[in-house]
Every structure is written in C-alpha cells, then in structure tokens.
Amino acid sequence: MAIFSVKDLRSLILEGKKQNFKLASRIDAAAMIFVTKKIIEEPVTDINAVDYGSTIYHVESESEDGVFYDVKGQTCTCSDFTKKRAPSGFCKHRVATLILQRSQDLLKTREEQERKAGVRIFED
C-alpha cells in the first residue's frame, strides 16, 4: 500500500520554501493544518454552476477548532486573503490545500507504480 510519509511532507515544505521564501511561515502553518486539522473536500456537482467539476475545500482554522475557511479556486474566505495580506494571495489555507493535492497526486503515482510492479510479478 502506498503511503505519504513525514519525509514526503518535509520535502514538499522544503521545495515550497525554495520556490517562494516569502511564503515560508505560511508553508509551516499550512503543514501544521494539514497534519493536525480537518480539510473537507466538497466537489461542485451543480451542473449549472460556473465552477462545476471543481472542488471547494473547507479548511479548519489553525487557531480555532471547528472554524472553517473556504478555499475555492484561487480564493479563500480568511482575512489574510480578503485583506490582501497573503503574498500573491497564498494564505496558509490555500497552501494547505496545495499540500493535500500534492500528497494525493504522489499517492496516486505510487499506487500506479505498485500496480504495474504487481502485474510484472504475475508475468514472471
């Protein structure tokens, strides 16, 4: 079974900081949210919606349990984003959803590799 490890998270964090050092503190906070808080994914299933097929992420506040901010496309409902304080609009909630997406992509890739490896074993 494919796993996403602490080591994987650490490399994602380092990679992110290398790409944008201004986001360093938000990346650390986002990793904390990813590990200790809830991120609920809600697919937009209304076919009349402009963003049909996309996903809304309800990201739990780092400081207040049970408080959620909604990340939709490139926006977030938190004040860091709405008051335009987050560098390039990347508040910690948006960064947390990016970490989630990257972890899911990584898992998908690994599962694919494991499936292929499994097939090879049967062929031998």
- Binding residues vs Zn ion (CB under 5 A): 69, 76, 78, 81, 91, 93
Query: Are the CB atoms for 4 and 103 separated by under 8 Å?
Result: yes
Nearer to Zn ion by C-beta: 38 or 115?
38
CB of residue 94 to Zn ion, shortest distance in Å: 6
Nearer to Zn ion by C-beta: 34 or 69?
69
Nearer to Zn ion by C-beta: 12 or 57?
57
Measured CA distances, 88 to 17, 57, 74, 94, 109 (Å): 14, 19, 10, 11, 29
CB of residue 3 to Zn ion, shortest distance in Å: 28
Nearer to Zn ion by C-beta: 47 or 61?
61
The b/e string for 71-104 (b: 16+ C-beta within 10 A; e otherwise) is: bbeeebebebbeeeebeeebbbbbbbbbbbebbe
Query: Are the CB atoms for 100 and 39 separated by under 8 Å?
Result: yes
CB of residue 30 to Zn ion, shortest distance in Å: 9
CB of residue 86 to Zn ion, shortest distance in Å: 7
Q: Which of 25, 18, 12 is nearest to 90 (CA)?
A: 25
